[in-house]
Amino acid sequence: MKACVFFLYLLALSVHYKPVFAATFQMPPTPGDTVIIQYPDGVALTKAQQNETLLDVARRFLLGQTEIVRLNPDLDRWLVRKGEVVRLPNKRILPDTPHNGITLNLPEFRMYVYPPDQPGTVLSFAHGVGRQDWKTPLGQTKVTKKVKDPYWYPPESIRREHAAMGDPLPAVVPPGPNNPLGAYALHLALPGEYRIHGTDIDKIYGIGMQITHGCVRMYPENIAQLYRVIPVGTPVYIVKQPIKVGWLDNVLYIEAHPDLEGEDIGSSERYSIALALIQKANNGEMPDFDQRALNDALSKLDGNPQPLYERLPPLDNPLENVTAESQLLPVKTEAKTPTRAKPATQPSVKIPAPKPPAAKRTASPSGYYRGDL
C-alpha cells in the first residue's frame, strides 16, 4: 500500500514542485517557532525528465550546489538518469538572528530575507561565499548602496592572481554577461568593497559553494528580486551557524551542516554545541530528547531538520472550567505544571515549567548573533 501511495505521489511531482524565483515561506503562527516549511504536503521530491546533473536540478530550483549534493549522497553529481528521484529541501530552521533585514548563514550557503513590506514572509536564497583564503567577514552591517549594471574594478590583488594563472584581467570590466558582479550589486558597510551581487554566465554553477573572493554571489533571478525588495539601510547579519535548533508545533528540531573549508571543529565540539543549543531552546533545561536522531543529524550533516523532542502543548486556559461557587473558596495561587511529555520517538519524559516570556537576547556561541559589532 505504501509503495502504491509513493508511486502516485511521484506522478504528481511535476505539478507540485515547479521552480520558483525564491523559496518563499510564511512565519509559523505560534510565536517563538522558527521552523519554516516550503511544501506543507510532505517531503519535496522531483523526478529527472532526462539525463542531467545534480547541478542542472539545483539551477532549475535555484538551490545551491553543495545543498543538493548533501541531500542526495547516493546520486552521482554528474549524472542523474532519466526517471531518478532527486530530493529537494523542504523544512528550514531560521538562524539565531533578529527577524528583520538580511541574514547570511555562511556554512549553510543560504540567506534569509525579511521584506519590510511583507510582514510574516521570509524569502530564502542560495548564495556563494568567500573561499578559505578570501573569507567573507562575520558581524552586523547594512546595505549602503544599490547599483544596477555595475562596473567592476578588479583589485590589484585579484589582478595579480589572475595574471599568475594566465588569465589577465582588465582594469575595468563593463556591465554585461561576463561581468562577475552580474546585473545588480548591493554594497555593504564593510571595509574592502564587499557586496551581495549576481554572477556572470561562467560561474553560475558556483552558487552554493565556497568560491568567491569574499563577496556573496547569487543567481541572476534571485539578486534581481532582492534588489527590488530591500531598501538602502537594510541591516545585514553575517553569521556562522552550522548547527541550528528551533521549535514547530511543540516539536524541537535540529539542523546540521558541515563547517566551512578549513574550519572543521570536530565531532566532539559539534556535539557540545548541539547540546548547548538544545538546552537553551528548552528554557535552560535539558530535555530527554531522541539521542539517535541527534547522532544521525550530526553524522549526516545534510541540512535536513530532524525532530528531537516533543513537549506537551500549553493549556489554553486552565481556569476556564472553574465554577462561580469554587471561586468563593480559598485556592492555591500556584498552578500545577505538566510533568509528562512525549519525545519524538521515545516514551513520555518530564518537561520543564511552561515557557516564560522571552528574555532579552544574550551572547551565544561563536558565530551566533551577539548584537552590534
**Active-site residue numbers?**
197, 215
Task: Identify residue 262 by its one-letter amino acid code.
Answer: G
Q: How many beta carbons lie within 10 A of that of residue 129, not counting itself?
A: 26
Q: Which residues contact 115 (CB under 8 A, 6 or more apart)?
A: 121, 123, 229, 230
The DSSP element (H or E) to which 91 belongs, if any, is strand 91-93
Interhelix angle 291-300/267-281, rounded to 10 degrees, is 130
Task: Catalogue the long-range contacts made by 293-301 (C-beta closer than 8 Å, 24 or more residues apart).
Answer: 293/254, 293/344, 293/345, 294/254, 297/254, 297/255, 297/256, 298/243, 298/256, 298/267, 298/270, 298/271, 298/274, 300/256, 301/70, 301/242, 301/256, 301/257, 301/258
Instruction: Report the sign of the C-alpha dihedral through residues 157, 158, 163, 165, in that order.
Output: positive
What grid cell was written down for 358?
Answer: 522571552
